[in-house]
Chains A and B, each alone.
Chain A
């Protein structure tokens, strides 16, 4: 099975799925067990290197880096998941409505999407969290809002194509209204594309959450997060470079994982694209 996948050039997808699974499993596991409570301060054993007691060492407050990393991952997964979900639900709704109705409604939705695209997502996310105040929920909002136009555009584009199909005409000839055609015929046929887009957006959301937390706008202490771990490690760059390395590595690997997953899924959904490369 795995070999066959490799030969077909689906190694990336396999690696992506594997890494995402590791992330998800450790995150779920951290709900019931972590090597140490991630917020426990233990000054005497501060700034230790990796050892059997502390797999990845300890930070300047003596907290266990491995535990912080695991729980931080859980936090950023949770934020990314809700943010992408918010963007997906609202974006798909707006995009599908735009495709179904056409005319001025579609124009308004798409111009709004263009408008939000005009601002760099992270800058605006910073603005939103600066206005609403820092915190996990506001980070979800800020990241979620910038996922809406992405999903709206992808959905509208794909849905318009489906609306041109004969079976939509047949469904209309059977007396179906736009709403039930959208739900029963259009959305199932664009679902594959949306799943791909969602996994790619997930990677971006993780990056955005790390960025916000690094700046202090995201997950608040004592909840650990990768972004803030990076920030705190900055001060000790020369004394304990590993402290910056681990969260940096975690961010890079999880973004890579979701990108591999998304790319691999896209090749499955649209084999034509895969052959072109």
Chain B
């Protein structure tokens, strides 16, 4: 049985201006200890998928479908059950380390929080454990650090603190939502290394959300590409980086900046805009921006086609990888 199995997850935000379809028929599986990368541009539903997994969708959003985690369906459970799960079996790291820490609380207490909550540790022993965790994520100077406030740390250090917080209870699944987007490139590499090591060390599964294909390629075994709330391509990372089947994935790849000697090519941008989630087109959501879009794409929803073993694309005319 996989650790996590999502089936036909739909998230809709009901608003007077029209219902916004934020996630449409999202489904994937995740085995224990495996790593999955979700890529896509802003607003494609990456973060909403993560929040749905944490039960932290905005109040106006309704989710249907199935999120099966360790054998139970999460969507049906009450808030108390969610609270027992969050931070305990599923943990999350956020994009902005600067704002994800309470500015008025010393970091030691914030890291220890989950331990007192889920493990029932006393204040003292949870602080001792927090110290060990801060050591593990590479924050030196033990005693001073427990009493430090978030503003005294650098961005990279704050992200390390957040990682320590997330890992405190040794969750089975870690969701990292753009964990390195707010950091310098050099720090970015260190944080990714740390995440990779910790995932291997604790046998956690990891969902890494990013708009940066480089980051995904470095860490993940499997890649999912999302567009306008749908999964448009899913493949093993090896296969994906060998060849993309969906035109959107190909365009994303083409938009990567390349640093080759002297070559100063313009970045290939994807023309057009993401469709409004309140007024999605009848057929393929990528039709208007697609280089190969036809009248079929406009009229009919694309099917999910297996282009190779374990490599799927949501397209009428996927390329052979």
Binding site for B on A (CB under 8 A): 102-103, 165-167, 169-177, 180, 184-185, 188-189
Contact = CB atoms under 8 A, between A and B. Distances in A.
A170 B83 contact: no
B307 interface: no
Interface of A is mostly: helix
Given A102-B59, A166-B94, A174 B87 contact: yes
Interface stretch (B95-103, B193-201, B310-318): B95-103
Interface of B: 54, 56, 59, 79-80, 82-88, 91-92, 94, 96, 99-105, 113-114, 117-118, 162, 165-166
A180 B110 CA distance: 13
Contacts, number: 70
A35 to B, nearest CB: 46
A174 B89 CA distance: 10
25 contacts: A102-B59, A103-B59, A167-B99, A167-B101, A169-B56, A169-B100, A170-B92, A172-B54, A173-B54, A173-B56, A174-B91, A174-B114, A174-B117, A174-B165, A174-B166, A175-B83, A175-B86, A176-B83, A176-B117, A177-B79, A184-B105, A185-B102, A185-B105, A188-B104, A188-B105
A173 B91 contact: yes
Given A175-B85, A175-B118, A177-B83, A189 B113 contact: no
A185 B99 CA distance: 13
Given A103-B59, A175-B86, A188-B105, 20 more contacts: A102-B59, A167-B99, A167-B103, A169-B56, A170-B92, A170-B94, A170-B101, A170-B162, A172-B54, A172-B56, A173-B54, A173-B56, A173-B92, A174-B91, A174-B113, A175-B83, A175-B117, A180-B117, A185-B105, A189-B103
A174 B102 contact: no
Nearest to B84: A175
Contacts of B101: 167, 170
Contact of A165 (B79, B85, B99, B117): B99
A221 to B, nearest CB: 48
A189 B104 contact: yes
A212 to B, nearest CB: 39
